[in-house]
Amino acid sequence: MYTERIKYLTGKFFAGTCSEAEKQELAVWIKQNPDEVITEALENEWNGFESETKMPVQVSDRILGNMIPAVPEEPSEEITETGTPVRRYLWPKMAAAALIILAVGLYWWSRGDQDRLAQQRAPKPELADIPPGGNKAMLTLGDGSSIMLDSAKNGSLASQGNTSITKSAAGELVYNTSGNADKAAVFNTVTTPKGGQFHIVLPDGSSVWLNAASSLKFPTAFSGKERSVEITGEVYFEVAHNAKMPFLVKTGETRIAVLGTHFNVMAYADEKVIKTTLMEGSVKVSRAGKSALLTPGQQARITAVSDRIVVASDVDTEKEMAWKNGYFQFEDDNLENIMRQISRWYDVEVTYEGNPGKETFTGKLPRSGNVSRVLKILSLSGVKFRIKEKSIIVTP
């Protein structure tokens, strides 16, 4: 039976504060109860600890091993016979086989491995807190002057030719053009720092969202045969349809041409691949004389080394859009990839003590919490972290 006492013990177990006697008590309870009761207990604890996301269905043997650190681990290869990296998951749903492993593990834990128990009893340092990013950006006008958008008051910010620039009550940067567009294009640039994001409504009504450490350069009014903008970092577009004036996105040597559609471009300088993911409509991705036409659900991947465009189908668009929707979402992502995302959003430097390894992780976490919350969940997969001022030291 799932009692208040067991709820208390599982809560301490998840928090890593169980005493030796309490773990022995929990081991006896697990041994005496059916799978569904244990599953309910762990899922209830998850819901209390991480109420914004659902517990993923995959089972991670690494988490089980770290929940019961005294259990002798079976030897495993980093790479399977097929060449596929070993996969790890941030949170398990306790399927029957995993429950047996957990119960047996707790039993053997209670019989003792004194060296590892001593390590477990050692006090665990509390992680320092670093707040999450937010709506932060700098607007650079055509004359070179700058406006800090996060501290600017709502209302009119500037006028350039026939275009007025305002900050809405919702915190968006909005461009409105009256009359004919100016013949001489005046370019503005919006830049988000690490730990920043921002939403812009362009003169044609297109909406653009910038992720952390990104930029968007655009004219204050669109004229001529095309609507051309330049980006760095990661940017999501919802382009207003205009068949007479295609929308063109430039990032380095890559060109993305559209009429009216929804798509995401990830082109960070510290990432090896430029990714264009299409949600609605169609886009044409071009680079070095090569091109590919995407349909919804497809993603174009380009490496700077080869200029080759690879089109992937059945892409998890929810994952690609997670940053805009307020989440980190990982799917077979390695530790370095995850930490690059954390570095950009929390504005921290990341260093490693040892090899990050080739293991991969899957999970979904809100971006609204302090960094300690994210690291706490990652640490359950066996990765250790230390925070020193604005740096995170990772011990894989």
Contact 373, 52 (CB under 8 A): no
- Beta-carbon contacts of residue 195 (< 8 Å; ≥ 6 apart): 132, 133, 134, 136, 212, 344, 345, 346, 347
Classify domain 327-395 by CATH architecture.
3-Layer(bab) Sandwich (3.55)
Q: Which regions of 259-334 does DSSP assign to beta strands (E)?
A: 262-267, 273-280, 283-287, 290-294, 299-303, 309-312, 327-334
The full set of domain ranges for the chain reads 4-121, 327-395
Output the pLDDT for position 198: 98
- In this structure, the chain runs to a length of 396
Q: What is the mean pLDDT of residues 309-328?
A: 94
Q: Say yes or no to pLDDT of 40 above 50.
A: yes
Q: Which residues make beta-bridge pairs with 229?
A: 249
Q: Say yes or no to pLDDT of 313 above 60.
A: yes
Output the pLDDT for position 144: 94
Output the pLDDT for position 181: 59
Q: Say yes or no to pLDDT of 285 above 60.
A: yes
pLDDT tens-digit readout, 122-160: 444 445 689 999 999 999 999 999 999 999 999 999 998
Confidence label for 44 from pLDDT (cuts 50, 70 and 90):
low
Average pLDDT, the chain: 80
Output the pLDDT for position 84: 52
Worst-scoring range by mean pLDDT, 50-54, 130-134, 340-344, 365-369?
Answer: 50-54
